Structure formats: C-alpha cells, structure tokens
A = this chain, B = another copy of it.
Amino acid sequence: MARKSGSSGEKTRVAVQEAAVTLFAKHGFAAVSMRQIASAVGVQAGALYLYTPDKQTLLYEILKNHMEHLLAAWAAENVSAEASPELRLEQFVRFHIAYHIERPERVFISYMELRNLDPDNFSRIEVLRREYEQIIEGILVEGQAHGCFVIDDARLTTMAMIAMLTGVSTWYREGGRLAPADIAQHYVDMAFRLGGGARLAHAAE
C-alpha cells in the first residue's frame, strides 16, 4: 500500500492535531512518540512529516491555535467596551468557564506543556497569554476607577482570579454533580466577591 483510498490531506492534517492533543493531554508531550500519534491516526510515522516539520512545531501549533481561537472567541462575544465593568466581568466569567469546560484537553496542554516549547515559541505564546490576561485586568482596573469594584492590588487580583477560574478544568468532569451553567453562575458570584463588588448577578442575600 501507499496512498489510502478516500484519503485527503486536509482530513489527515486535522486528525493528526486531534490525536496529538488527546495523547499529549493524557501522557504529556515528552512521553508521547511520533509513532504513537501516527498509529492513532492510522498512518506510519513518516507520514506525519507531511503535516509538520517536527514534533516541536506540532506542539507549538496546537498551543498557538488554542490561544488564537480563545482570543477570537472572546472577541466574537461582542461585549461592548462601554458596558459597565460589572456586566463585562460577568460576561467574561461565563465565557471563560464555558470555554474551559468545553475544551479540557487543549486547556490542560496549554499550561502544562509551556515548558516544552523552545524559547522562541514560548515567548510567542506568552504574548498571547498576556493579551488574554489583559482583558480581565482591564475590567478590574476600570471597575476600580468607577468605584464598583474594591481592589487592593489589581495585578495580584487578576492572577488570583485567573487561577481560580482556570482551576475549573482540573476537577470538572462531564456528568458531574453540577451542570456547566450552575458552575458558571457560582464562579460569577465568586468573581464578584473577589472583586469586592458582591452585588448584581445573584442579587439578594
């Protein structure tokens, strides 16, 4: 055999990325061989090099796609920059939780395999990460200026909030005790508490 019947380059390209994502998430980048990826795709190892110049680039492309898609998805939410910081924080938290719950593997890889990027690729991804962090930091800073949030240290609160929100991907399992929408609601509440503006959202109390 050589070329498979019904084969198409684009289909295989996608299959390679998906197989790599699944395997990297389960075993880690360094622990997965090109032969394992190839076998998951149903192809010989050599064929992978039609789609990536090397293993390192395969990882980089996965992280880059993930971050760019994340940023584009937030942009597509079309949350107006003139909306109140409270509304924007609520929207952001719902978006972040939903996005992270839906793509556990890519999220996992994206902060687990950063150290396996070579320095150049690492700093390219860092730029995108920073850009994403700026979204929430901007909301908090503006909310503080408006007086609707009470924050001691915006940078530290940003880091704490991102850690708290992203943490959902370490324990969430499909079909668990809470539905995604309930989880999102709880995180909205907790984000408001952290921001010192515990009103809105849940109202009452």
Residues of A within 8 A of B (CB): 26-31, 111-112, 115-116, 150, 152-153, 155-157, 159-164, 166-168, 170-171, 177-178, 183, 186-187, 189-190, 193-194, 196, 198, 205
**Interfacial chain B residues near A28, Cβ < 8 Å:** 28-30, 115-116
Q: Which residue of B lies closest to A157 (CB)?
A: B190
Q: Taking the full assembly, how many copies of this chain does it contain?
A: 2
Complex Cα–Cα for A159 and B177 (A): 14
Knowing A190-B160, A196-B193 touch, does A115 contact B167 (C-beta < 8 A)? Answer: no
**Interfacial chain B residues near A159, Cβ < 8 Å:** 167-168, 170-171
**Interfacial chain B residues near A153, Cβ < 8 Å:** 178, 186
Determine whether the beta carbon of B167 is less than 8 Å from that of A162. Answer: yes
**Interfacial chain B residues near A162, Cβ < 8 Å:** 167
Determine whether the beta carbon of B31 is less than 8 Å from that of A116. Answer: yes
Complex Cα–Cα for A153 and B189 (A): 11
Q: Which residue of B lies closest to A28 (CB)?
A: B30
Task: Determine how close the nearest CB of chain B comes to the CB of A72; give it in whole angstroms.
Answer: 25
Complex Cα–Cα for A177 and B153 (A): 11
Complex Cα–Cα for A85 and B23 (A): 43
Determine whether the beta carbon of A115 is less than 8 Å from that of B26. Answer: yes
Task: Determine how close the nearest CB of chain B comes to the CB of A140; give it in whole angstroms.
Answer: 12
Knowing A28-B30, A115-B27, A194-B193 touch, does A160 contact B156 (C-beta < 8 A)? Answer: no
Task: Determine how close the nearest CB of chain B comes to the CB of A109; give it in whole angstroms.
Answer: 12
Task: Determine how close the nearest CB of chain B comes to the CB of A171; give it in whole angstroms.
Answer: 5
**Interfacial chain B residues near A177, Cβ < 8 Å:** 155
Q: Which residue of B lies closest to A108 (CB)?
A: B115
Task: Determine how close the nearest CB of chain B comes to the CB of A145; give it in whole angstroms.
Answer: 17
